[in-house]
Structure 1
Amino acid sequence: MVEPLIELKGVSKAFGSHVVLDNVDLAIYRGEALGIIGPSGTGKSTILRLIAGLLEPDAGEIYVAGNRRQGLVEDQTEAIGISLVFQNSALFDSLNVDENIGFLLYQHSRLPRKRIRQLVEEKLEMVGLPGIADLYPAELSGGMRKRVSLARAVMQNPEDQAANPEVLLYDEPTAGLDPIASTVIEDLIRDLQHKQGGCGTYVMVTHQHSTIRRATDRVIFLYQGNVQWEGRVNDIETTEHPAIKQFFSGSVDGRIQVAP
């Protein structure tokens, strides 16, 4: 059997008395596009932060490329690079696009500024935004900021190939965008999966039906801290699972309860 690239085994996480994840098992395989869906507040973003190593589980184990993670990502050197794309783009307002995309290289590499700028321009070309390196985030539309954040996520360091991202984690990448801008981002995410210099494996948290169908291959449905359903994206159309049918129909009647 193919070994998962990342695996969660019996992972639980609580914040105070609120249990967000309860004994969750999850496997991510190289080259796949995995979607994590479910109602708001069910721990989807928490899973991303656990995978990224920004949070520790209260119980259970996380394996990355077959090695068990101990502590946070900053506490060890991992076999693969994992990059998180935040929902709000998380760009530094006081830095221009060039400085945002090349931030880690400017701060932590010995590359000359001219070389970093060249790498930034290559990533901007990759996301369809050539010639904007000197603009600031306030001068960009929401869709452009999303694309700049994607360029930053796939930025590679020629001096340290081991640190380059092999897995991208997308937290609501099309949230707040109009349908056309969402389609642009969905197509770009797919393009980056197959393009040299992109990233072939990704996990995506999303609520948007078009994004689920266009940008994921396999889907897990998370509710009340547990994985309630798992299947291929095409299985959504034929499943009789009541929670999946309710989620995609938008019905307020069913096992998924609307929070007061």
Structure 2
Amino acid sequence: MTEPLIELKGVSKSFGNNKVLDNVDLTIYRGEALGIIGPSGTGKSTILRVIAGLTNPDEGEIYVQGVRREGLIEDSADPIGIGMVFQQAALFDSLNVDENVGFLLYQNSKLARSQIQELVKEKLDMVGLPGIGHLYPSELSGGMRKRVSFARAIMSNPENPKEGPEVLLYDEPTAGLDPIASTVIEDLIRDLQSMHGVCSTYAIVTHQDSTIRRTADRLVFLYQGRVQWQGTVSEMDSTDHPLIRQFMSGSVQGPIQVVG
């Protein structure tokens, strides 16, 4: 872990008068599992959107494999693929699972429909959901919808393999799930990292203790738009840092201001 795969330097972002990110430096290294944690409203999801090229920072620089990104993801192709799994799965309700998972290929590739369906089947098998391509999102449980969104995020075009995602960004992937469904998702995140040919690098935003411990190796703690602490999961348990201690204990007493 010497040269960053993705690097943010001095990134700031405001929405109106609300400064969500304030001079943030952040690195993601190839092969690592980075957890981005902190209280609600501290810029965690915004950082993912900046990394994905969906949101432009007001200030700062983004480097992807050493190449400075100019503009948003549609303005110029990154040297690596970056996929994102949104908090609410973000599936198209009017499309079935097959059409959701294969959406980009159906829209933008020259592959035959039968080829795309085979690729969709392969990805659904990877996420433990064989034989559900004909179902619609309304017919799926919350955990199943999350896994379908994973299958869509790892879809790639065999005609342009470089467009496939090398990095996955997960925004609260276990939010709203029961403990058993959360465990299934946490195991899947690790399984996708270890599978040959699937994304070996990821960053995950989460508040959930089990998800932090089961899916992250290195942690970045954000508060008031700034990186306040970095370390491993084991260091999180042993540090005396007051922000970490309050956050992990869930106490209302401490330096983190309780809103409302």
TM-score (norm 2): 0.99
d(CA) in 1 for partners of 2:18, 2:214: 33
d(CA) in 1 for partners of 2:8, 2:102: 31
Given the alignment of the two structures, is residue 80 of structure 1 paired with residue 80 of structure 2, yes or no?
yes
Q: CA deviation at 1:50?
A: 0.3
Which sections of structure 1, spanning at least 5 residues, go unmatched? none
Specify the code of the residue in structure 1 equivalent to 2:241: H
2:201 corresponds to? 201
Given the alignment of the two structures, is residue 181 of structure 1 paired with residue 184 of structure 2, yes or no?
no
Q: Is the 8 A contact 1:154 1:197 kept in 2?
A: no
Q: Residue 204 of structure 2: SS of its match in structure 1?
A: strand
1:108 corresponds to? 108
2:243 corresponds to? 243
d(CA) in 1 for partners of 2:156, 2:162: 10
* Correspondence 1:1-260 to 2 at 5 A: 2-260=2-260
Query: How far does the alpha carbon of each residue in 1:178-221 deviate from its partner, in whole angstroms, 9 at most, with x for none?
Result: 00000000000000001124210000000000000000000000
Specify the code of the residue in structure 1 equivalent to 2:4: P
Specify the code of the residue in structure 1 equivalent to 2:147: R
Specify the code of the residue in structure 2 equivalent to 1:168: L
Specify the code of the residue in structure 2 equivalent to 1:184: V
Query: How far does the alpha carbon of each residue in 1:14-62 deviate from its partner, in whole angstroms, 9 at most, with x for none?
Result: 0111111110000000000000000000000000000000111111100
Q: Is the 8 A contact 1:36 1:221 kept in 2?
A: yes
Q: Is the 8 A contact 1:9 1:60 kept in 2?
A: yes
d(CA) in 1 for partners of 2:28, 2:89: 24
Specify the code of the residue in structure 1 equivalent to 2:153: A
Greater Cα shift, 196-205 or 242-251: 196-205
Specify the code of the residue in structure 1 equivalent to 2:230: E
Query: How far does the alpha carbon of each residue in 1:84-122 deviate from its partner, in whole angstroms, 9 at most, with x for none?
Result: 100000000000000000000001001100010000000
Q: Residue 158 of structure 1: SS of its match in structure 2?
A: coil
Specify the code of the residue in structure 1 equivalent to 2:139: E
Query: How far does the alpha carbon of each residue in 1:62-95 deviate from its partner, in whole angstroms, 9 at most, with x for none?
Result: 0011000111110001100101100000000000
d(CA) in 2 for partners of 1:77, 1:243: 38
TM-score (norm 1): 0.99
d(CA) in 2 for partners of 1:167, 1:5: 9
d(CA) in 2 for partners of 1:198, 1:181: 22
CA RMSD of aligned residues (A): 0.7
Query: How far does the alpha carbon of each residue in 1:235-256 deviate from its partner, in whole angstroms, 9 at most, with x for none?
Result: 1111110110000000000000
Specify the code of the residue in structure 2 equivalent to 1:118: E
Specify the code of the residue in structure 1 equivalent to 2:80: I
d(CA) in 2 for partners of 1:77, 1:195: 25
Among all aligned residue pairs of Structure 1 and Structure 2, give the percentage whose two residues are the same amino acid: 73
Q: CA deviation at 1:233?
A: 1.0
Q: CA deviation at 1:10?
A: 0.5
